[in-house]
Amino acid sequence: MKNKSFNNIRSYRSYTSESASTYKANNANVVVGSCVTIVGNETVGLGADGDPLTGLVSVRAANGNVTVEERGVHDIETTSLLTVGLKTLVVDGTGKAKVAAGGLQCRIRATWTEGGQHFARVDLG
């Protein structure tokens, strides 16, 4: 996964940050804007396709620690254009989220496509 730049597009925006936690990232592919899952003790990663969504990386420190937004409203990248409403989200293993069984229940507030990429404004709870 290429290192995402969120300065020129709306794909990483936090509207409310009610709860964030610090974890160790399992590799360098876990970057700001990545949708992640818990992969070990106090460790998050991109996971495997279908692993439950834990949250969105908002900060990555030089030591490999990341801040993960686990609650609140955030813009995330998705594998396809979702529909609004209550959905169950999982990671796809590349840093994006998608709808599938066994994930985190979230409310999708808005969706859009920008530059060929799909995004959703998601209330993580």
Question: Six-digit token pair at 81?
Answer: 């254009």
Q: Which domain holds residue 69?
A: 10-125
d(CA 61, CA 117): 26
What is the rounded distance in angstroms from the CA atom of residue 71 to the CA atom of residue 124? 5
Tell whether the model's pLDDT for residue 15 goes beyond 90. no
| Spatial distance between the Cα atoms of 114 and 83, rounded to a whole number of angstroms | 16
pLDDT of residue 13: 52
4: in domain: no
**19 confidence band (pLDDT: 50, 70, 90):** confident
Q: How far apart are the C-alpha atoms of 117 and 87, rounded to whole Å? A: 19
Q: Which segment of 11-15, 24-28, 46-50, 95-99 scores lowest on mean pLDDT?
A: 11-15
Smallest Cα–Cα separation from 94: which of 4, 26, 34? 34
The answer to the question of residue 18 being in a domain is: yes
Query: What's the pLDDT score for residue 103?
Result: 97
CATH number of domain containing 45: 2.40.300.10
